[in-house]
Chains A and B, each alone.
Chain A
Amino acid sequence: MRALLTRDLALAVRAGGGFGLGLAFFLIVTVLVAFGVGPEAALLSEIAPGILWIGALLACLLSLDRIFALDQEDGSLDLLATAPLPLEGIVTVKALAHWLTTGLPLVLAAPFLGVLLSLPGPGYAWLFLSLLIGTPALSVIGTFGAALTVGLKRGGLLLSLLVLPLYVPTLIFGAEVARRGAAGLTVETPLLLLAGLSFGALALLPFASAAVLRVNLR
């Protein structure tokens, strides 16, 4: 398991792995939003939590099809499937690697991008925390979507269509935590719901992903 994790991390970080792409995309979305809605600080600071959450979500989505596609092309996915490690474990490790290479950098970068959108002072900690709790759910759900579309030639657009509706609850709770945090309200309820969602997805979805992957590798 650890070998698979280090392999995936190495593949993602080294040349051609597209490690920084998600981050750059996140930055560009944030900048474009400022261009789109205008530079008034009051408006920007009001919508900043939502924009940052959407940006993180899209950046996450962008890198999903890499989770299995490359392994499928060179055949290593078939080897992994026949390895002694259960497929559920492989899927979980893949999701974890995706989170470490995409989700975690986004979480770390979000407060800095918050400065660009003049996020209110108390919002930074809650934005960071909500992304930290919520992005694993995004990775796990996205892994399910990637497993669904692994065998398809033009799976990219379909992947977005399948995954985005599944992201709705996570986005609602996550953005709500960040919004309430920025407005100085209590965040306990959405934070707990977000954490529940994240852990629930982490516990249950790998089984679905593995089942789907088995079908696709048949």
Chain B
Amino acid sequence: MSLWEYANPVKFIRATDRVLPWLAGLAGACLVVGLIWGFFFTPDDFRQGSTVKIIYLHVPSALMAINGWLMMLVASLVWIVRRHHVSALAARAAAPVGAVMTVIALATGAIWGQPMWGTYWAWDPRLTSFLILFLFYLGYIALWAAVENDDTAADLTSILCLVGSVFAVLSRYAVNFWNQGLHQGASLSLDKEENVADVFYLPLLVCMGGFILLFIALVFLRTQTEIRARRMRVLLARERMA
């Protein structure tokens, strides 16, 4: 029993079918609990007022925007090294989800930035690198859509993902060099003493868990759809041949 068994599409679909309702249900429960807890049962911040509550959407979506790309990178590597089709399809399935997460992070950040910084947008390193990340997502999705042959598309996009990751990291540090920003430093990390106060931290953790589960559930679902769509194309082609 190893992870690679799920490279078999039938096994993948069977296994994900079993966990998908749980994942989706848990994601929904986490989001409902976390958001309601965050929005209605936490005190207002003494300087930011109630706008601080947008953190429950902003931070988790930003988390998943970056980790979504990371997941695509891993899946692309698996495709290049071991040629498992499910892996390529999972990378393809994750891209739009990650792109949407990036948009959510950018939009909620802009809405938060207006009352706090007095501007919707500033060319701050973090904001700028997220915008660049979004462009990378767009290019990746467009390349998938443009190439007709599935295997060729998988190869091309996985190499683009590798090269893009390197350049995304480069851009991250380049914009840091280019402009100093308004955005605060990391206020959540495992190894730091001082984090966000616990009243805000706990519901935020629940929301982050909810977004992670939601991302996994959506990727599983979309991967299943991709597998089934590909199967259907094969069946149709076979029908036409007969």
Nearest chain B residue, comparing its CB with the CB of A212:
B159
CB-contact partner of A218 in B139, B152, B164, B175, under 8 A: B152
CB-contact partner of B135 in A154, A158, A164, under 8 A: A164
Interface: B155 (CB within 8 A): yes
Chain A 156-174 per-residue mask, 1 if CB under 8 angstroms from chain B, else 0: 0010011011101100110
Nearest chain B residue, comparing its CB with the CB of A190:
B177
Q: Are A158 and B170 in contact (CB under 8 A)?
A: no
Q: Which residues of B contact A154 (CB under 8 A)?
A: 146
Q: Are B152 and A173 in contact (CB under 8 A)?
A: no
**Closest chain B CB from A42 CB (angstroms):** 22
Assembly CA distance A218 to B152 (angstroms): 8
Q: Are B174 and A169 in contact (CB under 8 A)?
A: yes
Q: Which residues of B contact A149 (CB under 8 A)?
A: 143, 146
Q: How many A-B contacts if CB must be within 8 Å?
A: 76
CB-contact partner of A162 in B139, B162, B168, B174, under 8 A: B139
Please judge, given known A-B contacts A165-B136, A168-B171, A176-B178, whether A208 and B143 are in contact too, CB under 8 Å.
Answer: no
CB neighbors of A among B95-121 (8 A): none
B contacts with A, residue count (CB < 8 A):
25
Please judge, given known A-B contacts A155-B146, A158-B142, A216-B152, whether A172 and B174 are in contact too, CB under 8 Å.
Answer: yes
Assembly CA distance A28 to B162 (angstroms): 36
Chain B 116-156 per-residue mask, 1 if CB under 8 angstroms from chain A, else 0: 00000000000000001001101100110011000010011
| Chief secondary structure at chain B's binding surface | helix
CB-contact partner of B170 in A169, A205, A211, A212, under 8 A: A169
Assembly CA distance A155 to B147 (angstroms): 10
Q: A162-B143, A165-B168, A172-B178 are in contact. List 15 more A-B contacts (CB 8 A).
A: A144-B163, A155-B146, A158-B143, A161-B142, A164-B135, A165-B132, A168-B174, A168-B175, A176-B178, A193-B177, A208-B159, A208-B163, A215-B156, A216-B156, A218-B152
Cross-chain pairs A/B with CB under 8 angstroms, 13 sampled: A151-B147, A152-B147, A155-B146, A158-B139, A158-B142, A158-B143, A165-B136, A166-B167, A173-B174, A176-B178, A193-B177, A215-B159, A216-B152
What 8 A-B pairs have minimum CB-CB distances, sorted nearest first? Answer: A169-B174, A215-B155, A165-B135, A169-B170, A172-B174, A162-B139, A168-B171, A172-B178
Residues of A near any B CB (own CB < 8 A): 144, 148-149, 151-152, 154-155, 158, 161-162, 164-166, 168-169, 172-173, 176, 189-190, 193, 197, 205, 208, 211-212, 215-216, 218
